[in-house]
Structure 1
């Protein structure tokens, strides 16, 4: 019996039929697994907070995604073959902390349930019932699998594993595993209240959440060479081209850092550097010092610099890595006062025009361009002692 204190987290789940299909391994671990079919209405109000992705057509933010072929196929089945929906659709996987089955009334009582695979199906069902379903339709049934466990780590692993066939982005996996939580906390030391994007659904958010993948890229660009060498990131520590051109690799390297117990000092450095890197990126993204350079790829409003391409910015950020120093408590950015932004702009302007053929993407991927600006900052670093 569930405790009275759990009542507010209970969910009534009517079904047509339900079987306990728990394996011996499930039983020995204290898990239960149920399978069956249910009226489609049974899943409309379920949460999907444990899932690595929500219904993408109506994800966070005002900018809605265009329905994919998957969404269109579900709609076609619901509208043209309603009676076949339960066998043409893959169904929904649900996780719950506890469950009671009452086969007399054909209803399960679930404690804190969540969809972990099937948010797109649920979203299309909601759309169907709200906009299309009427008396002429037979209410569709849906197949379900319910996994009952109170193991939070296992729930996260199940959610990730059950979604791999849908090409879940690495960002969603990192977010679901909690690998971005410390990074977000460190960002809030300089940017109070900031929220990182932790799933592909968050990337539709127009409310100001921070681009996590970009943050990780610029942090690797600013990470000092000594930390890159120690981490053994399979890259020339003086060559930060990968930070601009290999977004997915940067995220995977970061995930490695989080889990690498032998290099926690590198991870600590990364966390300290991240707010500094983002502040530097934001500064150079709209740096008015580029006025008068004649760089055509810079977006302007009149004479005002509106946006500088990342290809110009990343070599500048990477060149500043020589000024990342440890003060005994934390890593800080300590450029010498005699080095002005004008010096870096001149070096970037020269690299852009003479080495990158006026192409910001070429500059962002050119080791020569990074080395050219790094030579400037290295001279000032040596003079500063």
Structure 2
């Protein structure tokens, strides 16, 4: 079995025996494709793990090999012909995939294993020990072609134990969400915060990741630090939970973590109220945003709004449009008497911010694509110019 080919930088040729494209309509709409392939176990060794949450645990110390590793090893050594059935396989992401069925090759760009690093590690261990005498056998691979690297990060999170929901359970168990839950329950009587994957999200049970995303949008740039992009809460929602957990863990030892943690706890109820306020703002009703596309079946680029069937008034706005608005409001967030507050000045006109948001939505850059607006740094910057200018004028007054 051939194990290597000359390829362009960042590209990898993966031989296969069989491959099938099982891309769903939803994936296709997002520019994603998925294949399942049977590949040689030896060919798995050359794929990187740069986008995985964890590399091979026992890479630097054999003492870290656990029962899972040993079970994989036993199957490889004793039943290699059954490995493809006994093992859950590996998941590979790439930013582009060209399949040549004549040559039985899939050329992957920026390929990375995001689930199966332990399997790969045990395969490397086995083939190294056997010194060329090891048997050939097959592994099943799922290949996900996702052009956007930030979405690959989200897929990696979702495909491993640190999924956004399971991480909520971990954060809740470690006490990281206790203060946040208390702050929400005190400010919003009758409502509470999801603390585990078993908590059912509903009218009175708030989605923890969503709350952290909304709150992170209100965080002033100087508090975030560095050059963190404003669109991170939309592009990498899971990162908001990871960061919050890290700040909670380090709050007692690191002043910057304490300040960010306190901000999130204090401002979470404010962010919830603001998101709801803008989601049903009367200003959307005059903007001629349509629920459906020209064929009246589904909206072009994702539904921007929903309307009440009886009144025809907007009662929901897509997060991709609302996130840049909340981010712009961070210009009005400040510390007063030792507490973070959001204070919208009289010069600020909410209808004007909505008008600018719709203008960005219809711009050539976004082209009425809801998800594209949520990711567009230009959209965030354009809306922030309005609020930042007002804040700067008031500071100089």
CA distance in 2, matches of 1:243, 1:348: 17
CA distance in 1, matches of 2:379, 2:345: 22
CA distance in 2, matches of 1:173, 1:366: 31
Could you tell me whether the CA contact under 8 Å between 1:326 and 1:332 is conserved in 2?
yes
2:211 corresponds to which residue? 215
1:353 corresponds to which residue? 362
For residue 307 of structure 2, give the secondary structure of its aligned residue in structure 1.
strand
Deviation, structure 1 residue 244: 1.2
2:347 corresponds to which residue? 338
Which of 316, 321, 326 does residue 312 from structure 1 map onto? 321
1:182 paired to 2:189: no
CA distance in 2, matches of 1:193, 1:347: 35
1:244 paired to 2:234: yes
For residue 189 of structure 2, give the secondary structure of its aligned residue in structure 1.
coil
Could you tell me whether the CA contact under 8 Å between 2:201 and 2:207 is conserved in 1?
no
Deviation, structure 1 residue 166: 10
CA distance in 1, matches of 2:233, 2:184: 19
Deviation, structure 1 residue 303: 2.7
Could you tell me whether the CA contact under 8 Å between 2:187 and 2:269 is conserved in 1?
yes
Q: Please show how residues 22-171 of structure 1 align to structure 2 within 5 Å.
A: 169-171=166-168
- Runs (4+) of structure 1 exceeding 3 A deviation are 163-168
Q: TM-score, structure 1 length as denominator?
A: 0.53
CA distance in 2, matches of 1:194, 1:290: 27
From the CA coordinates, give the structure whose radius of gyration is larger.
1
2:286 corresponds to which residue? 292
CA distance in 2, matches of 1:356, 1:205: 31
For residue 291 of structure 1, give the secondary structure of its aligned residue in structure 2.
helix
Distance 1:293 1:168, change over 3 A: closer
CA distance in 2, matches of 1:369, 1:332: 25
CA distance in 2, matches of 1:213, 1:165: 13
CA distance in 1, matches of 2:192, 2:206: 6
CA distance in 2, matches of 1:166, 1:376: 36
Could you tell me whether the CA contact under 8 Å between 2:320 and 2:370 is conserved in 1?
yes
Q: TM-score, structure 2 length as denominator?
A: 0.52
Could you tell me whether the CA contact under 8 Å between 1:347 and 1:373 is conserved in 2?
yes
For residue 192 of structure 2, give the secondary structure of its aligned residue in structure 1.
coil
For residue 176 of structure 2, give the secondary structure of its aligned residue in structure 1.
coil
Deviation, structure 1 residue 165: 10
Unaligned runs of 5+ in 1: 1-162
1:221-249 CA deviation, whole Å, 9 max, x = no partner?
111111101xx5xxx34x32111121211
Unaligned runs of 5+ in 2: 1-159, 291-303
Deviation, structure 1 residue 164: 5.3
1:280-313 CA deviation, whole Å, 9 max, x = no partner?
1111111121012122221112431121000110
Deviation, structure 1 residue 370: 0.2
Could you tell me whether the CA contact under 8 Å between 2:165 and 2:196 is conserved in 1?
no
